[in-house]
Amino acid sequence: MPPIKLSPSVVSFVALLSFGVLAGCGGGGGSDAGSSGGGSGVTLTVPGSPTLVALDPGNTAIKVHYTAPTATGGSAITSYTASCAAGGTTRTGIGTTSPIDVTGLSNGTAYSCSIAATNVTGTSPSSAATSATPALPVVPAAPTIGAATPADKGASIAFTASLITGGSPITGYSVTCVSGTLSASATGSASPATVTGLANGLTYSCSVRAINAVGTGAASAGVNVVPNGAVATPAGVAEFTTLDFNALDNFASITLPAYYDGTVTPDDNTPANNAINNRTASLGRVLFNDRRLSVNDTISCASCHRQANGFSDPRQFSTGFSGTAFTTAHAMRLGNISYYRPGTMFWDKRAASVEIQATQPIQNAIEMGWDTAAGGMAALITKMNATTYYPDLFNFAFGSPTITEARIQQALAQFQRAMVSTGSKWDTGYATVFSATAPNRNLGADLPNFTAQENRGRTLYFTPPNQGGAGCAACHSAPTFALAPNSLSNGLDAGETRIFKSPSLKNMGVGGPFMHDGRFTTLEQVVEHYNSGVQAGPAVDNRLLRNGVPQRLNLSVADKAALAAFLRTLDDTALLTNPKFSSPMRK
């Protein structure tokens, strides 16, 4: 199922690029990620080669799956060219998102295929080549099995779809769990799949198969799970937290709107080995809110990522555990953190994943204090083992009481990725007009619950500058409003050489200050920056340039106010007030 982006245009600017990223335990900032943070100079060159991930052969065609190069050459990638050659004949396909279709091939002939990226400077060298043979559709390849979460007489099985569809779209999945002569199955359209009718206490091996129009494919590798019934909440857990082991909040199986479909799921950065389950995410909730994870019991992740502020900090810089030292970057919002590809975290993208990022603030000398001088993670784990609740919580989540940094990272990452924002005023309105088959999926339609000013701002957001708009959607695509991975910097300062990233624009209205250094205090100031303040520099994104110089949108006073009003419709009160994301700590 090809992942088609929702971005309505690729002609505009890095709209509102630095409304913030993740800091502290949520994924941004940190004391070394501010104005003196990492980054590198940008030289305009051709991009690096993409990575060819998989070839999916079909009837006279091959789908070429790839990942974008990390080196963009200092300029946004404008297209990708897939080439398949056999017997002196080469066919190509051009596109902007993976996969790219190469058509007009001969069934039964082996083709050698590669992929190249193009920016304003030129075209990259081709990737390493891989061979595939077009043919009439066959059954799909096996999915990749993920985590199994036990439940009372059932289990939730996570998996990742194979890119090899057999030349026919995958229509569903079949999950089977077997224990001796006992078995139970279930079908579904997406991960995770829930299997019921299992016997508590028995060990089941569960596997997943994909289904297309031809039939059912091969089974994945198996994953073991032991269904369980009621589990008593240990006394220490009940003393220090509000968790009830028999009434956990639902993090793993949330219902997403219809427009969170196959065009959105490819952007999910959740790894196959850390799919969300309720037990581990509940542990992550405790870790996120527990001040005992700081060296002197004063600071938690939630101290700098406050739910009421979109999991951001209303202060320009956050106070560290000492009470007298401050971070050098603004702690930014966490909503829709799971929908940023490739998943790199912090302003300067120095952490490869949410998992790797999760424990860096804990070990930061300013933030939570467990640096080398304080004994590092080993000293923190010793402290956690001495509590009356963490060994039981880790046993509940992972099947043993062993506390490790990797397990802490997994739990914190699951809790944060569960912060999906689908309850804003924009979401409510778009749900009433969404059509998967309408032009641009009806993103251009007025929303019935919007004021005239908000709809004007919506039009400016989704319309390219050369058509009279502001073009924000070129880099912040609906419905997640997460940043496009090929975006560069936003011209905050003349001569800037660093490439910044931002999170989703959801909950901007309550999530200021803005930019990596918190220099702007209002949305109106941010809008004005993109209207008239973009500065030239080697790292600035070319979507902010017109004829090689920084763009000037020349928006009217009314249009600037309308754009700010639209951005406030992205605030999600449901996420800001959902009890499952609040602190569970009793003391």
The domain spanning residue 442 has which CATH number? 1.10.760.10
568 domain-assigned: yes
Q: Do 401 and 446 sit in the same domain of this protein?
A: no
Give the Cα separation of 387 and 240 in Å (integer).
Answer: 10
455 domain-assigned: yes
Residue whose entry in the numeric block shows the structure tokens 């596109």 = 95
Query: Element (H or E) spanning 208, and its range?
Result: strand 204-211
Q: Pick from 567, 578, 451, 410: which is nearest to 20 by CA?
A: 567
Give the Cα separation of 181 and 136 in Å (integer).
Answer: 37
The domain spanning residue 89 has which CATH number? 2.60.40.10
Q: Pick from 525, 515, 571: which is nearest to 311 by CA?
A: 571
Q: Higher pLDDT residue, 5 or 288?
A: 288
Asked whether the predicted pLDDT for residue 33 surpasses 90, the reply is no
pLDDT of residue 444: 94
Q: Do 381 and 433 sit in the same domain of this protein?
A: no
Between 39-43, 180-184, 276-280, 301-305, the lowest mean confidence (pLDDT) is in 39-43
37 domain-assigned: no
Question: In sequence order, which residues have a C-beta less than 8 Å from that of residue 35 and are 6 or more positions away?
Answer: 328, 329, 516, 517
pLDDT, tens digit (0-9, with 9 covering 90-100), for 240-255: 999 999 889 999 888 9
334 domain-assigned: yes
Q: Higher pLDDT residue, 259 or 1?
A: 259
pLDDT of residue 2: 42
Asked whether the predicted pLDDT for residue 38 surpasses 80, the reply is no
Q: Pick from 64, 169, 184: which is nearest to 116 by CA?
A: 64
Q: Do 411 and 508 sit in the same domain of this protein?
A: no
Task: Give residue 11's pLDDT band: very low, low, confident or very high (50, 70, 90).
Answer: very low
Q: Do 377 and 492 sit in the same domain of this protein?
A: no
213 domain-assigned: yes
- State the DSSP string of 465-522: GGGTS--GGGTEETTTTEEPTT--B--SSTT----------TTGGGS-SBSTT--B-S
Q: Do 296 and 388 sit in the same domain of this protein?
A: yes
* Single-letter residue type at 240: F
pLDDT of residue 368: 94
Asked whether the predicted pLDDT for residue 280 surpasses 90, the reply is yes
pLDDT, tens digit (0-9, with 9 covering 90-100), for 519-532: 999 999 999 999 99
Contact 306, 419 (CB under 8 A): no
Q: What is the domain range of residue 99?
A: 51-124
Mean pLDDT over 132-151 rounds to 93
Residue whose entry in the numeric block shows the structure tokens 């502001």 = 470
468 domain-assigned: yes
Give the Cα separation of 259 and 244 in Å (integer).
Answer: 33
SS3 readout for 289-329: HCHHHCCCCCCCHHHHCEHHHCCECCCCCCECCCCCCECCC
Q: Do 280 and 394 sit in the same domain of this protein?
A: yes
Assign 456 to helix, strand or coil. helix
Give the Cα separation of 172 and 154 in Å (integer).
Answer: 20
Q: Do 388 and 431 sit in the same domain of this protein?
A: no
Q: Do 385 and 427 sit in the same domain of this protein?
A: no
Q: Do 437 and 502 sit in the same domain of this protein?
A: yes
Query: Element (H or E) spanning 565, and its range?
Result: helix 557-568
pLDDT of residue 512: 86
Assign 384 to helix, strand or coil. helix
The residue out of 124, 144, 162 marking a domain boundary is 124
pLDDT of residue 493: 93
Between 111-115, 478-482, 486-490, 557-561, the lowest mean confidence (pLDDT) is in 486-490
Task: Give residue 43's pLDDT band: very low, low, confident or very high (50, 70, 90).
Answer: low
Q: Do 339 and 487 sit in the same domain of this protein?
A: no
pLDDT, tens digit (0-9, with 9 covering 90-100), for 442-463: 999 999 999 999 999 999 999 9
Asked whether the predicted pLDDT for residue 383 surpasses 90, the reply is yes
Question: In sequence order, which residues have a C-beta less than 8 Å from that of residue 255 and are 6 or more positions away?
Answer: none
Q: Do 444 and 327 sit in the same domain of this protein?
A: no
- Based on the structure, what is the number of domains in the chain? 4
236 domain-assigned: no
Q: Do 431 and 549 sit in the same domain of this protein?
A: yes
The residue out of 372, 397, 421 marking a domain boundary is 421
pTM above 0.85, yes or no: no
pLDDT of residue 497: 92
The residue out of 362, 387, 421 marking a domain boundary is 421
Asked whether the predicted pLDDT for residue 335 surpasses 80, the reply is yes
Tokens of 426: 């924009």
pLDDT, tens digit (0-9, with 9 covering 90-100), for 312-331: 999 999 999 999 999 989 88
Q: What is the CA 361 to chain-centroid distance, rounded?
A: 20
Asked whether the predicted pLDDT for residue 39 surpasses 60, the reply is no
303 domain-assigned: yes
Side-chain-side CA neighbours of residue 220 (13 Å) = 27
